[in-house]
Structure 1
Amino acid sequence: MIERVLERFLFASRWLLAPFYVGLVVCLVVLMLKALQELVHFVEQAFTATEADIILGVLTLVDLTFTGSLIVIVIFSGYENFVSKIDEAEHKDWPDWMGKIDFSGLKLKLLSSIVAISAIQVLKAFMNVQKTTDRDLTWLVLIHLVFVGSGVLLALTDRIAEGKNGHRSH
């Protein structure tokens, strides 16, 4: 009986994660406000900006979009993996990937998004190379390479673990 009560208590504790996901929704709203601010600034500068400034503005908006998408992936996948399933029948426009990403897939999607965001930061620095110091550029490239290497190692370790468990992804 004590074991059953303890297990119910531990199982119910997963709901302590729900406020974290609500906090991420608030972060998504703040990110959207920043994206709107950047969009207004981008449009205001459209006729006077150089080609490089336009590309930097677009890259900034792409970066914010990737970050927002990353937050959505974490919210839905994390909630479904750790808190509770969402009834997809109630949502006609339910994306196929939702509810099908396990923790391993979530880690890989998360790291892939971080690599993409990092790549955009490096590209922005290269586009603005006259205002970027060699030291800053070196650090951006090194950090990006660490993210890429981490992603490759994570994918390899997950693949090795799947092979040992008898599960092969096709």
Structure 2
Amino acid sequence: MLFASRWLMAPFYLGLVVALVVLMVSFLGELWHFVLAAPALKETDVILGVLTLIDLSLAGNLLLIVVFSGYENFVSKLHVGDHVDRPEWMGTVDFSGLKLKLVASIVAISGIHLLKSFMNVSQMDKDDLLWLVIVHLTFVVSGLLLAWMDHISGSTKKMKLSGKAEAVS
């Protein structure tokens, strides 16, 4: 019963697929408005429009990583074999790698949001801008600490394995 309970996570991943569809609809809406407004946009507005599309794209990539990796790590293997369209990372991202990819994506999304704010710095409240920088730096530091902890954990595992190999010799 405990082992079978992992299937309770499957609806969560299906819900994330629905969220990906919602994100795609939002992306297409942004793209449509961007294309229609393009002839009248200034250079800064074009850059902001492109950054918004990149931001939505990164969020979609983040959802895909969570869906594929989470499903494979916690529910069941995806049996796609050596299909030509299979992403190379699929089936190789463990929970530790998933955490690092999530944090890296969040830092990238936060960085793009911060860059968009800097592009409109004259219209931004200075306190709001300060908080955006603080939040972004918090994500960056959290990511670095998480990567460092994973490095330490990996080094500890290697030392234990090499110690066992020496004991066998």
- TM-score, structure 2 as length reference: 0.92
Residue of structure 1 equivalent to 2:90: 98
Give a deviation string over 1:77-97, Cα, whole Å, max 9, x none: 000000000112173310110
**Which of 78, 84, 89 is residue 86 of structure 1 equivalent to?**
78
Q: Which runs of 5+ in 1 are unaligned?
A: 1-8
What percent of counterpart residues are identical? Answer: 60
RMSD of aligned residue pairs (Cα, Å): 1.0
For residues 157 and 50 of structure 1, what CA distance do their matches in structure 2 show?
45
Does residue 144 of structure 2 align to residue 152 of structure 1? yes
Q: Distance in 1 between matches of 2:19 and 2:123?
A: 30
Runs (4+) off by over 4 Å: none
1:116-137 superposed Cα distances (whole Å, 9 cap, x missing partner): 0000000000011122110111
1:16 matched to 2:16? The reply is: no
TM-score, scaled to structure 1: 0.92
Q: Per-residue displacement from partner, 1:27-62 (whole Å, max 9, x unpaired)?
A: 000000000000011001111011110000000000
Residue 37 of structure 2 is aligned with which of 38, 45, 49? 45
- The residue number in structure 1 matching 2:56 is 64
**C-alpha separation between the residues in 2 aligned to 1:126 and 1:151?**
22
Aligned to 2:47: 55
Structure 1 residue matching 2:132: 3-state secondary structure: helix
2:106 maps to a residue whose letter is: I
